Amino acid sequence: MRLRLATWNINSVRPRGELIGRMVDEVAPDVLCLQEIKCQTGEFPKEMFEALGFNHFRIAGQKGWHGVAIASRLPIEDAPPLDVCREGHARCVGAVVAGIEIQNFYIPAGGDVPDPEVNPKFAHKLDFYGKLTAELGRRDPKAPLVVTGDLNVAPGEFDVWNHRYMSKIVSHTPVEIEAFRALEASLGFINLMREATPEPEKLASWWSYRAADFRQSNRGLLLDHILATPGLRASAFHTGKAQSRIHDDVRGWNKPSDHAPVTADFQV
């Protein structure tokens, strides 16, 4: 059976019903990992998702700007909690679906100044990455685990619109790239998007709202990722190559999030 996992920073879930419905109809995900739901757990619009065929949920809501959720067509079991956010924000939620552990993250953006000594938000981001990497490094790489979500780092030269310029901007600075690569190395994670679309092809999953036409300005960043442990290689490469893509057309729909959904398929 094909299991299609989608990750999407929805940038406020409650006003996006029409957008979500169209995306589900066209993209056909089986598991939907959402970030920045911007509602408390009890305010999450379950009925909207149930009408689309998603009847199983894990939700970590919070008043304000955070919150993450997993909605699944298939039954959900509990996943080990990951306590890696020093500020206690709702930035991680986990679930086990069809034998695959899925950990869905909204990692802190890090503010504007890439200096942990003067910017507490940037320090928090690096601390989050450090704690997560240490925690996952104790796991078994043969176990089926997906780490996904808005990881707020564009790690590769071709994951940003201008590598030289962005190297001084939060999301693509050397210290953030180092943190991302350390996370990948912790269990030998496979970056499914880059397996499906290797460099030097440029990829992006986020475009600023400031641009009237995001395609014309073409200043995107690849901030949303699907990382799989070596234990999932056969499942993720069941067709001979990774099946993962960015649905960037969704970014051009009416009242969009500034992020596009990213999907990957597994054989389960």
Please report the DSSP string for the chain in residue order.
Answer: -EEEEEEEE-SSSGGGHHHHHHHHHHH--SEEEEE---S-GGGS-HHHHHTTT--EEEEE--SSS--EEEEESS-EE--------TT--S-EEEEEETTEEEEEEE-----S---TTT-HHHHHHHHHHHHHHHHHTTS-TTS-EEEEEE-----SGGGBS-HHHHTTSTTSSHHHHHHHHHHHHHHT-EEHHHHHS-TTS---SB--TT-SSHHHH---B--EEEEE-GGGHHHHTTTSS--EEE-GGGGGSSS--SB--EEEEEE-
pLDDT in tens, 137-162: 999 999 999 999 999 999 999 999 99
Q: Which domains does the chain possess?
A: 2-267 (3.60.10.10)
Residue 216's pLDDT band, with cuts at 50, 70 and 90, is: confident
Predicted pLDDT of residue 57: 98
pLDDT at 82 over 90: yes
Q: What percent of the chain has pLDDT over 70?
A: 100
pLDDT at 212 over 80: no
